[in-house]
Amino acid sequence: MTENPTPDPAAIGTIAFLGLGHMGGPMAVNLVKAGYSLAAYDPVPAALEAAREHGIATVDSAAEAVKDASVVLTMLPSGRHVLDAYRGVDGGPGLLSQAPPDTLFLDCSTINVDEAREAAEIALEAGHRSVDAPVSGGVVGAEAGTLTFMVGALPEDFETVKPVLEVMGRRIVHCGDHGSGQAAKVCNNMILGVSMIAVCEAFVLGEKLGLSHQVLFDVASNASGQCWALTTNCPVPGPVPTSPANRDYQPGFAGALMAKDLRLAVNAVEGTGAVAEMGRLASRIYDAFAEGDGATRDFSGIINDIREKSGG
Ligand code: NAD
């Protein structure tokens, strides 16, 4: 981590902001509030309308957004979306050919490590700069400007984007070269997926053994079972009043997103030959969870599946 440079929105120029969804929308709002000049675009008219209501300058196409940009920030659903947008689809031009030379492409979407490296490669080949900066902290963090950014970038590009990211986040971590931000994100979320399942299994086992939730929480949260899945996102109602279990598992972090992130982790496992049996199993368990209504519930709601399979 380096010293904070003084944020100077004017020095950055126009930021093309592409993807005004659950995360991108509030992130763009924070940039505008901090004085940055945006040209924002999303193919969904309702997303554009909502952005305009928050004072964000929108344009009618991605091409228009990037034509005078010095930074192109993408917050898109998947790596396929990012690569298609960069390259263009069906023979049409992509952002890389439409942006001015030496534009900094800043992708904040959660995508495969290999896709992030490919995105950087084609951006550099086209004469641009590239940074991957996936986030954690969810919609609440996006709204509050308290996201964590995990950044894969050359040192000089990290210095350029850091003040921009500091407007949207509280913790900005330079993880290494291109793709390292995504690498850190998948590793972290593999820990999270596996540990949440372990915490849920322990609560269900505790129920069967006659332990109250509070007793197990009091012991484990002060012992070696302590982890974020237990102490912040506790999957049973009661011990942590702010956890999603207390509001019928409204997310929070939706099961579909956990399933997605674990698939990205498994892709990385397969690409590297790392042994990650727990990660692979967690991915299968969350895929099954996300096939049903778990897709839209907090990922801690997996405890209900585990309890049901355990005979109630
Ligand atoms: P979302 O589906 O709500 O938003 C994505 C937006 O991108 C949509 O509005 C879509 O219309 C737009 N889009 C698609 N293609 C586009 C294009 N070519 N140009 C411009 N816009 C385009 O998704 P989200 O929840 O905002 O998540 C965005 C990314 O952030 C995902 O990669 C997700 O995994 C990651 N993420 C999400 C959360 C979360 O809690 N939602 C948390 C951390 C990371």
**190 and 140 share a domain?**
no
**168 and 203 share a domain?**
no
**208 and 173 share a domain?**
no
**219 and 125 share a domain?**
no
- Please check whether residue 1 lies inside any domain of the structure: no
Question: Which of 17, 23, 84 is the best mutation target for the ligand 1 pocket, counting ligand atoms within 8 Å of the beta carbon and taking the most?
Answer: 23
- Please check whether residue 52 lies inside any domain of the structure: yes
Residues in contact with 146: Cβ distance below 8 Å, sequence separation at least 6, in sequence order: 137, 140, 169, 170
pLDDT string in tens for the chain (312-residue length)? 444 445 689 889 999 999 999 999 999 999 999 999 999 999 999 999 999 999 999 999 999 999 999 999 999 999 999 999 999 999 999 999 999 999 999 999 999 999 999 999 999 999 999 999 999 999 999 999 999 999 999 999 999 999 999 999 999 999 999 999 999 999 999 999 999 999 999 999 999 999 999 999 999 999 999 999 999 999 999 999 999 999 999 998 999 999 999 999 999 999 999 999 999 999 999 999 999 999 999 999 999 999 999 998
Q: Is 71 in the pocket of ligand 1 (CB under 6 A)?
A: no
Closest CA to 147 of 8, 22, 12: 22
Q: Is 75 in the pocket of ligand 1 (CB under 6 A)?
A: yes
What pLDDT does residue 102 have?
98
- Give the count of domains, the chain: 2
Q: Could you tell me which residues are beta bridge partners of residue 41?
A: 18
Indicate which residue of 185, 208, 260, 309 is catalytic: 185
| Cα(75) to centroid(ligand 1), Å | 5
CATH number, residue 275: 1.10.1040.10
What pLDDT does residue 213 have?
98
Q: Is 77 in the pocket of ligand 1 (CB under 6 A)?
A: yes
Whole-angstrom distance, CA of residue 153 vs CA of residue 149: 12
Place of tokens 């990205």: 264
What pLDDT does residue 8 have?
81
| Cα(78) to centroid(ligand 1), Å | 8
Contact 161, 12 (CB under 8 A): no
**142 and 258 share a domain?**
no
**20 and 139 share a domain?**
yes
Domain hosting 277: range is: 184-309
The three-class DSSP label of residue 209 is coil
CATH number, residue 41: 3.40.50.720
**44 and 150 share a domain?**
yes
Q: Which atom of ligand 1 lies nearest, measured to the CA of 261?
A: 34
φ/ψ of 183, rounded to 5, equals -60, -45
**71 and 215 share a domain?**
no
Closest CA to 75 of 34, 25, 126: 25
| Cα(47) to centroid(ligand 1), Å | 11
Q: Which atom of ligand 1 lies nearest, measured to the CA of 139?
A: 40
Whole-angstrom distance, CA of residue 98 vs CA of residue 37: 19
Which among 177, 198, 224 is the end of a domain? 177
Residues in contact with 55: Cβ distance below 8 Å, sequence separation at least 6, in sequence order: 29, 32
**289 and 166 share a domain?**
no
What pLDDT does residue 7 have?
65
Which among 130, 148, 177 is the end of a domain? 177
- Please check whether residue 2 lies inside any domain of the structure: no
- Please check whether residue 77 lies inside any domain of the structure: yes
Q: Is 145 in the pocket of ligand 1 (CB under 6 A)?
A: no
Active site residue 309: no
Range 189-227 burial, b when 16+ CB lie within 10 A, else e: bbbbbbbbbebbebbbebbeeeeebeebbeebeeeebeb
Q: Which atom of ligand 1 lies nearest, measured to the CA of 23?
A: 26
